[in-house]
Chains A and B, each alone.
Chain A
């Protein structure tokens, strides 16, 4: 099956710093990648849809300037949490599909961000 990786798996940073999370599709080309956020014991909340070569589409309430998304190639999307604060601490998960039309999405293992 298709494999999606995320790096790092876990990161701890100081308040005010920026953190970059990478999402890679390892054995397929992902025209579309998705970034989700998950708080403990809650469901996944879609943050943004990332399309290769174009600007990301953010969900309502998600700050574009705080969560910078870059999808520079068909196998890599990055999420940068800028000027992170403790309330940004969460589990960030990416997913990808190569159909661009819903259906099955392949999920990365997630990145646990802790902001001190």
Chain B
């Protein structure tokens, strides 16, 4: 079942701007991950943040996690047209191997 909600559902920005996407979830989690999907393609893993971590960086990506609010944010800095894609958060729980995906944010970066 889908437990994640991302907002915004769609985001349109200009190259060079920052893009922020948010994800909320309902149950306690073990890890939260962000994935990217180009149209009609599979998913690419971006970053994983554990429930005991609050912030993580990878290149132009910054992820925060607030377990008290059951929410996470993904920030892409200095966006590029090639960042155009859908972005999904996914959570897993202790003792379970399955991922539960959010509804995703469609990001459009215009040159």
- Which A residues contact B (CB, under 8 angstroms)? 4, 6, 32, 34, 41-46, 49, 59-60, 91, 93, 95, 97, 100-110, 112
Given A44-B88, A93-B43: 16 more A-B contacts, CB < 8 Å: A41-B106, A46-B99, A46-B101, A49-B97, A91-B40, A101-B95, A102-B31, A102-B98, A102-B99, A103-B31, A103-B92, A104-B45, A107-B43, A107-B45, A108-B42, A109-B41
Shortest C-beta distance, B84 to chain A (Å), equals 15
Shortest C-beta distance, A103 to chain B (Å), equals 6
CB contacts under 8 Å to A, within B56-111, are: 88, 92-93, 95-104, 106
On whether A103 and B48 interact (CB within 8 A), knowing A43-B103, A43-B104, A44-B88, the answer reads yes
A102 surroundings in chain B (CB, below 8 A): 30-31, 92-93, 96-99
On whether A43 and B101 interact (CB within 8 A), knowing A102-B31, A102-B92, A104-B33, the answer reads yes
B98–A43 CB distance below 8 A: no
Shortest C-beta distance, B31 to chain A (Å), equals 6
| Cβ-neighbour of A34 out of B1, B41, B42, B98 (below 8 A) | B98
CB<8 Å pairs between A and B, sample of 10: A6-B42, A42-B103, A43-B104, A44-B43, A45-B101, A60-B1, A102-B31, A102-B93, A108-B42, A110-B40
Residue of B nearest to A38 (CB): B37
A97 surroundings in chain B (CB, below 8 A): 97
Shortest C-beta distance, B46 to chain A (Å), equals 10
| Cβ-neighbour of B41 out of A49, A100, A104, A110 (below 8 A) | A110
B40–A105 CB distance below 8 A: no
Shortest C-beta distance, B97 to chain A (Å), equals 5
A93 surroundings in chain B (CB, below 8 A): 42-43
Could you tell me the distance between the alpha carbons of A93 and B90 in the complex, rounded to whole angstroms? Answer: 15
| Cβ-neighbour of A101 out of B48, B97, B100, B104 (below 8 A) | B97
